[in-house]
Amino acid sequence: MLNARAAVLFCRTGAQYATATAATGVVQGSSRCLHTFPQTRPEEGPPAVGLGLELPHLKRTGCIYLDYNATTPIFPEVAAEMAPFLFEHFGNPSSGHTYGRVCKAALDTARGRVAQLLGASDPLEVHFTSCGTESDNWAIYGAVMAARMAQLRLQPQLQPVGPPPHVVTSAVEHPAVLVHLKHLQDQGLLTYTAVPVDGEGLVDPDQAAAAVQPNTALVTIMHSNNEVGAVQPIAKIAAAVRQAHARAIAAAGGDAQGAATGALLVHSDAAQSTGKVELDVEALGVDALTIVGHKFGAPKGVAALYIRRGVTLPNYFHGGGQEAGRRAGTENIMQVVGLGAAAVVARQEGPQLRKHIGEMAERLLGAVRAEMRAEDQDKLWVNGPRDPARRLPNTLSLSIRGLNSALALQRLSTQLAASAGAACHSADGASVSAVLRAMKIPLEFAKGTLRLSTGRHTTAQDVDRAAKLIVEEARRQDILG
């Protein structure tokens, strides 16, 4: 039985809120409703808190939140737009009646908002999904299946059928890419090459191009790295790999086995970039691009895959005709509305948000240095690109030589929310983050890595206090004097 108190619905009419219980389903007052957890006081309502101001519920916990790369809180403006679709606007957008039409209109509006954020020429290039993993999996699977179908169409001329499609990726991709590639390779559906990164976590476009083969069907390289913030030169990579593919096909005879996989597609996972740096799919030269709602103020459980108009990408889900027949399943309207609202916030606040999160990250680094003694400064290392233009403004990957970062985060878990750059700390370093290993960060630094990521609601007080906590913990471990 649902606990009625735990399922309070509160509705705002000016400053007044009326309540209803899930047991009766009867709502008194306005129909603009928002579901709350038991610890939230109904009289508070959606907090009217904007850029640079602390959210009340974050303040109440007493725990500084510097883990925005893991997830963001739902922005108040986003929650306000989602609220009516929790209770009042419940229709199926595929239905032709009033309830359905309202939700279909909301779906179309959200699609247009996301398209504007990405610089897409046509809203129908935006396809809503459940998460970034689904979007990445779809892009990879779709590109590979399109290449396989191209091979089969030419099968009479290819005896035997040519090699499986080839994919180029990087050594620092999200598991949604690398694990899926490994899975499909184990099934014999593709082969792939993971190109290395340099000491700053960046992919060299020439190395990506050198990995291209005549049968390369897809190049998938993330737009920015979630750990060290390295922003990849996607436009240069896209141009380089396409030129390399054309040369490889010409060298193979134009219509040889490898060339039968068809056009080379370029995909980028921009989950960490959305809302932090400007995205323009036309300028990037990508055929597909992943964005994820909960990384920029929308709820968890909603994402999108941009697919350039004219690109053949077979369906990953099969069933109904939703999403222009490309992604079956009734759309989660409330979540999609949230994604669209977050896209509006990102567009409206873009330059100011980037300035704020960048200033907070720089202040945090400066505060950590200021807390450390002069003789200890050489124990601190910042991972990622030195050039601010080549890294996410909010991401600070700090390594303190000799620190046990897992222990530090465990001890600070009620005071500071952050992430470690290493999943665990074995003596031989085998479990150090794959990203740091790929960057060849020395083991004594890699094991002491903290990923600190600022966000829309990070304050100067947050970062100053966090710096003190980090340095105090390092001293507690006898790492710093």
State the first-to-last Cα distance of the chain, in angstroms, to the nearest integer. Answer: 56
Active-site residue list: 424
